[in-house]
Amino acid sequence: MCLVGTFSRLPQPAFLSEPELQSVDLAIDHPSGSGARSEEEEMSTIALSNKTAKLMRLCEVEGFRTIEEILFASATDSVCPAICMTEGCDYTTEMEPDQDQGYCEACGGNTVTSALVLAGLI
């Protein structure tokens, strides 16, 4: 999380000068002093992007206007919409709400994941 500039909107504390405040901002933005992110951070960002894209695609295919609509429908039923997580495969079906390795009839993998799992609610 980048908090650069957040402190500039707050009243300046009497015990910190402007240059000291700027160094606090920089330390929060890059605590290690480098702008590089760790490999784990990069990988989790990529996974989150893929999950979000698949959840949005699932909403589109299933006819939901918002993510909230699909999550509400999923939370109130014994089955919920699910989508294949393989890149290029948008096979959808209904699965158990906690499913994260369902069988994909299109590509043959155990890669179908429910909307609730994609949203991180299960």
Q: Which domain holds residue 54?
A: 39-118
In a domain? residue 8: no
Residues 6+ apart with CB under 8 A from 89: 104, 106, 107, 111
The pLDDT of residue 43 is 57
- Spell out the per-residue pLDDT of the chain, length 122, in tens: 333 444 444 444 444 445 544 444 444 444 455 555 666 555 555 555 789 899 999 999 999 999 899 999 888 899 999 999 999 999 999 999 999 999 999 999 999 999 999 999 98
pTM of this structure: 0.61
Q: Is 20 part of any domain?
A: no
In the chain, the number of structural domains is 1
Tell me phi and psi for residue 119, to 5 degrees. -80, -5
Specify if 3 maps to a domain. no
44 within domain boundaries: yes
Alpha-carbon gap, residue 122 to 107, rounded angstroms: 25
Q: How far apart are the first and last CA of the chain?
A: 24
Is residue 29 in some structural domain? no
The residues that bridge with 95 in the sheet, in sequence order, are 80
In a domain, 47, yes or no: yes
In angstroms, the CA 28 to CA 5 distance is 10
Dist CA 74 CA 58 (whole Å): 12
7: exposed, middle or buried (C-beta count within 10 Å: 0-12, 13-18, 19+)?
middle
Interhelix angle 67-75/39-62, rounded to 10 degrees, is: 80
Give the per-residue pLDDT at 93: 96
4 found inside a domain: no
